[in-house]
Amino acid sequence: MNPNDLSHFKTLLLAEKESVTKCLQHQKAEIDDTNSEVLEPLTDSEEKLLEKIELALLKIENASYGVCVNCSREISRDRLEAKPSVSLCLSCQSEHESS
């Protein structure tokens, strides 16, 4: 992936990170308001997504972004455009989901 593409995806990831972070803060504020301790599962998926975004940003820094973590093949550009934090190629993802 060339430096222009990397910076393009970095921009997408940073924007996604910001919106997820805001969403998490909002949810946490609501949890504080209601003083409830049982609302944790609500934030679970966002926290996982945030981890994925952080990981993808790290990969951009060390130039390993856009490569499937399972089979080391390149992830298609369309797939990255649709979901920049994705770390599996399409075939590994479908294997993962069907198992």
Q: Which residues are at the interface with Zn ion (CB under 5 A)? A: 68, 70-71, 89, 92
State which residue, 33 or 97, has the beta carbon closest to Zn ion: 97
Least distance from Zn ion to the Cβ atom of residue 94, Å: 10
Q: How far is the CB of 92 from Zn ion (least distance, A)?
A: 3
Closest distance between Zn ion and the C-beta of residue 23, in Å?
A: 29
* Residue whose tokens read 């550009």: 77
- Give whichever of 23 and 69 is closer to Zn ion, judged by the CB atom: 69
In the bound state with Zn ion, the residue whose beta carbon lies nearer, of 20 and 68, is: 68
